[in-house]
Amino acid sequence: MGKLSALNVLKEKLGEDGVNALLEVIEGERERTRDHLFRLLEERFARRLAEEIGKLRAEMYEEIGNLRAEMHSMKADLIKWMFVFWVSQTLVIIGVIFALMRFLG
């Protein structure tokens, strides 16, 4: 039975006003169902988005922690090498002064 046949049968049984009222009821239910589905999808999307943002924040926090630890390690190495440089430069300058004193004196 096609769409027009079913519509004709409904018109015979319900009349023109009855068919229009039935179509309004069906359309109203379709809109309510669609709205309900959109709300469900929106809630699921918001929940999933919050979960993913939480994971991203945790990963970023971990990476920042690792970066900070690496920076502290690099800072300690830099201070160590600066100390070695200063001591060696001081020894070179003292050696040059003694050499000049010996050469001039």
- How confident is the model over 62-92, as pLDDT tens digits? 999 999 999 999 999 999 999 999 999 999 9
Residue 2's pLDDT is: 63
Q: How confident is the model at residue 105 (pLDDT cuts 50, 70, 90)?
A: confident
Whether 1 has a pLDDT exceeding 90, the answer reads no
Whole-number mean pLDDT of the chain?
93
Q: Residue 61's pLDDT is what?
A: 95
Q: Which residues contact 22 (CB under 8 A, 6 or more apart)?
A: 10, 14
Per-residue model confidence (pLDDT) at position 39: 97
Under the banding of pLDDT at 50, 70 and 90, the label for residue 3 is low
